[in-house]
């Protein structure tokens, strides 16, 4: 379900919902999913380095662990 939502994600709200859903994954799967999410969303123009996410802004992955 998360991967389907990831494929369809286009808004900041979609991304926030993905992050919340990711937190429900077993800990061992959270980091790999986050890496996949960053890669997928990067292809849509999103970049991660800060705590907020939107196109051409950044979110830091360490803020979610």
pLDDT (tens digit per residue) in 10-61? 888 999 999 999 999 999 999 999 999 999 998 988 877 655 444 544 444 4
pLDDT for the residue 21: 93
**Tokens read off for 10:** 């286009």
Q: Above 70 in pLDDT, residue 2?
A: yes
pLDDT for the residue 47: 78
Q: How far apart are CA 31 and CA 56, in angstroms?
A: 22
The residues near 33 (Cβ < 8 Å, ≥ 6 apart) are 2, 22, 25
pLDDT for the residue 57: 43
pLDDT for the residue 1: 85
Q: How far apart are CA 51 and CA 31, in angstroms?
A: 16
Q: Which secondary structure element, helix H or strand E, spans residue 53, and what is its range? A: none
């Amino acid at each position: 379900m998360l991967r389907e939502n990831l494929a369809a994600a286009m808004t900041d709200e979609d991304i926030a919902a993905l992050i919340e859903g990711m937190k429900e994954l077993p800990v061992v799967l959270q980091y790999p999913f986050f890496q996949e999410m960053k890669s997928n969303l990067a292809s849509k123009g999103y970049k991660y380095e800060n705590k907020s996410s939107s196109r051409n802004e950044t979110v830091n992955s360490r803020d979610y662990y």
